[in-house]
Every structure is written in structure tokens, then in C-alpha cells.
Amino acid sequence: MNFARHAGVLLAAAAIALPAAAQEGTLKKVKDSGSITIGHRDASVPFSYYDDKQQPVGYAMDLCLRIVDAVKAELKMPKIDVKYQLVTSANRIPLMANGTIDLECGSTTNNLDRQKQVWFTMTHFVTANRWVSKKSSNIRSLADLKGKTVVSTAGTTNIKQITEINAAQNMGMNIISANGHPEAFQMVETGRAVAFVMDDILLYSLVSQSRAPGDYLISMEALSVEPYGIMVRKDDAAFKKVVDAAMSNVYRSGQINAIYDKWFLKPVPPKGINLNVPMSDSFKKVVAKPTDSGDPAVYK
């Protein structure tokens, strides 16, 4: 009986200690190892992708490097080794949860469902879920996709949403998954699918890089609002505090304007494509009042 009581006390103490350990987790990991690992994408232009030297670059990558500077200042470490880990839509959340990566810098939607597994810092872009199709397909509305083959990228909110719409509205679509955005777009390009459902900013990027940009149409109809956020580990309050402060400082200091213009209003490497996407009113609201909300209603 005494042993049971003792075991109960130990278990209770462990339960209390766990959150504290989790809170200092990433900062302690970085301090002890002298390094931080950034998860990045290979083809999410202009957020996170490879340049012609196979180096990860992009808008989200620039923001993550500002966060690394803030971590250096917090830990009083003049040098932290930045390591890079390629992630996909399908494995980015597991790799964050298991400690492989410390920051995930890409085009990841922050929503309430994902917040059960990971946390997000301040929203760094607001997009919408739309589809791209060839103009010759005459897909002008969601109803036009009935009975058609539609593609989206595995592990994204987009494929989840179009699957739910398909079932709810009994549309009879054949929904197939691709391993990455370029593969999904290629399916539309080659006629294996009539439409690719994805965040509109990524669709604009893919169309602009295609052989015949004028052949494609991005839907006017939006299926949802998608706020993007940089992922951090769940229940790591101390690290998130540093990350949030860094992002808020980038916004309130005005640094965000030059960073945004560099990637959305000027030619980007390696092909010199200019997306020419001005800052949206939704994102201007975030810059004025930073938020990490996963509720789409906040951004409307």
C-alpha cells in the first residue's frame, strides 16, 4: 500500500514536470547541440524551394532566419549551426512532433485540427483553396467538376477538403493524390486530371513557371481561407514565446515589407519569375495585429 502511494506520488510529480520540460525543450536542445534544424520544401515557390544551387530559399526561409537570430540573442549564442531537412506535405507534422526538425518553414496551413498536433507562430501569409484547370476544359464552377478526375497533394488540407466536399455533395469525383505540387500540376498539364486543387498562391507560381501560362485558369471560386504559419513543437511555450516575439518584431518594425516585396513583387530565382502578388488586405491586418489563429473566420 505504501509502495502504491509512493508510485502515485511519483506519477503525479512526473505529470507536473512534463510540461515544464516540454517548455524548455527546443531552446535546451539548441543550446546543448549548438544547432537548429529547419524543415523546408523543395518546390513551394516562393515560400520554400531549391534555387539553382540546390540551396533552400524563399519567403518563409527568410522569416525563419530572422527567428534563428532571435534564438541566438535569447540564448546569448553568437553562432548557431543552421541545418536543413527536406520535408513533404505528408511527413512535415510527424517530423516536427518527433523532434527531427525545430522550425518548419514552408507553405503550411495553420488550422484548429493541426493545432492538436503542433503549434504555429504568427501567420505569414493568407491564401485561399482554389483549383487550376486548362481553359479548354471549360471548368468554371465547382459543379463543373462533377464526375471528373481531380488531383491534389497528399497530406494537405486541400485534398482533405475536396474529399469532404465530394462526399457531402455526392459529386462522384475521382480524387487522386500526388507526392508533390509539381507532380499534381503535371497531371493537369498532361490531361490525367482536369483540375488541381491547391492554395491559390502556389497555383499562380506553378502556372507562371509552366510552358504555356496562357492555357490555364485559376478558379474565381474559393473553397476556403488558408492562413500559413511556421510550425513549432506543441507545448513548447518558452520556444514559441521567442519565435512569436521575433515574428511580431519583423511585422511591427516594417522589415516585413522588404521581405514580402523581394519574393512577391520582384523576380525570384532561379528563373526570374515575378509573381506580382501585392500584399492582401487580410495579411495587412495580420501585420498590423499579429495573430497565430487557426480560425479562418479571423482572416475574412
Flag whether 137 is in a domain. Answer: yes
CA atoms within 13 A on the CB side of 163: 13
pLDDT in tens, 194-248: 999 999 999 999 999 999 999 999 999 999 999 999 999 999 999 999 999 999 9
- Both 165 and 88 in a single domain? no
Number of domains present in the structure of the chain: 2
**153 CB contacts (<8 Å, ≥6 apart)?**
89, 159, 177, 178, 179, 180, 181, 184, 198
DSSP states along 227-240: EE--EEETT-HHHH
Write out the three cell numbers for 140.
468554371
From CA 63, how far away is CA 105, in angstroms rounded? 8
- Specify which residues 255 forms β-bridges with: none
Flag whether 2 is in a domain. Answer: no
From CA 129, how far away is CA 202, in angstroms rounded? 10
The reported pLDDT for the residue numbered 6 is 42
Residue 212 belongs to domain spanning: 129-225
- Both 182 and 264 in a single domain? no
The reported pLDDT for the residue numbered 17 is 37
pLDDT in tens, 26-85: 999 999 999 999 999 999 999 999 999 999 999 999 999 999 999 999 999 999 999 999
Q: Comparing 10-19, 95-104, 138-147, 180-189, which segment has the lowest mean pLDDT?
A: 10-19
The gap between the terminal CA atoms of the chain, to the nearest Å, is: 59
> Coil, helix or strand for 26?
helix
User: In a 10 Å sphere around its CB, with 0-12 CB exposed, 13-18 middle and 19+ buried, how is residue 141 labelled?
Assistant: exposed
User: What is the CATH number for 30?
Assistant: 3.40.190.10
- Both 147 and 191 in a single domain? yes
- Specify which residues 125 forms β-bridges with: 228
pLDDT greater than 70 at residue 22: no
- Both 102 and 167 in a single domain? no
Among residues 99, 101, 121, 100, the alpha carbon closest in space to that of 110 is found at 121
Last residue of a domain, one of 225, 255, 276: 225
pLDDT greater than 60 at residue 21: no
- Both 15 and 106 in a single domain? yes
Flag whether 234 is in a domain. Answer: yes
Flag whether 203 is in a domain. Answer: yes
- Specify which residues 224 forms β-bridges with: 129
- Both 119 and 181 in a single domain? no
Last residue of a domain, one of 225, 257, 285: 225
From CA 81, how far away is CA 33, in angstroms rounded? 9
The reported pLDDT for the residue numbered 24 is 57
- Specify which residues 153 forms β-bridges with: 178
pLDDT in tens, 127-178: 999 999 999 999 999 999 999 999 999 999 999 999 999 999 999 999 999 9
> What is the Cα gyration radius of the chain?
21
- Both 81 and 133 in a single domain? no
